Amino acid sequence: MGSEQLGAAGVGAAPEGGPFFTLAEVAKHNSNREAWLVIHGRVYDVGRFLGEHPGGEEVLLEQAGRDATESFEDVGHSTDAKEMLKEYLIGEVHPCDRKNEGSKDPNTTSSSQSSFWSTWLIPIFGALVIGLMYRYYMLDGKSS
């Protein structure tokens, strides 16, 4: 499964824009031999790591075929562990599926920022219009 090639390429083998996998494809690989998981939008084949994982193979198999970002982060893995991830990297989650991942993605910060502005700008603008109309009618009433 191209793992030899990745091994030879070494630690810097992050395939930028590399092979993309849909979440459905990842989900198919949840057996003892081929356990794929998604961490931070990247796809890892941890099949050959199962027996070596200090946290045991069970937890990995539990997450196999799924997005394991939350469980991986919850454990508070060391920087060494995060470095090790690169050895098992096989590709990235297809951009179409990444949107579905939703709220955890840093991309959503910009959209939540824009919704922040729309939720505040609309009432502020409305208040301004009401204020101006009020002034206009009050002055109008006084002058006549």
- CA nearest neighbour of 67 among 16, 32, 17, 105: 105
79 to 118: interface string for ligand HEM, x by CB under 6 A: -xx--xx--x------------------------------
Quick check: 71 binds ligand HEM (CB under 6 A)?
Answer: yes
CB of 35 to ligand HEM, least distance (A): 9
Give the separation between CA 31 and CA 65, rounded to whole angstroms.
Answer: 9
Give the separation between CA 3 and CA 48, rounded to whole angstroms.
Answer: 10
Q: Which stretch binds ligand HEM (CB under 6 A): 1-9, 50-58, 103-111, 113-121?
A: 50-58
CB of 42 to ligand HEM, least distance (A): 10
Quick check: 54 binds ligand HEM (CB under 6 A)?
Answer: yes
What's the half-sphere exposure (Cβ side, CA atoms, 13 Å) at 75? 15
Contact (Cβ atoms closer than 8 angstroms) between residue 60 and residue 53: yes
Contact (Cβ atoms closer than 8 angstroms) between residue 59 and residue 49: no
Residues that bind ligand HEM (CB under 6 A): 37, 44, 46, 49, 53-55, 59-60, 63, 68, 71-72, 75, 77-78, 80-81, 84-85, 88
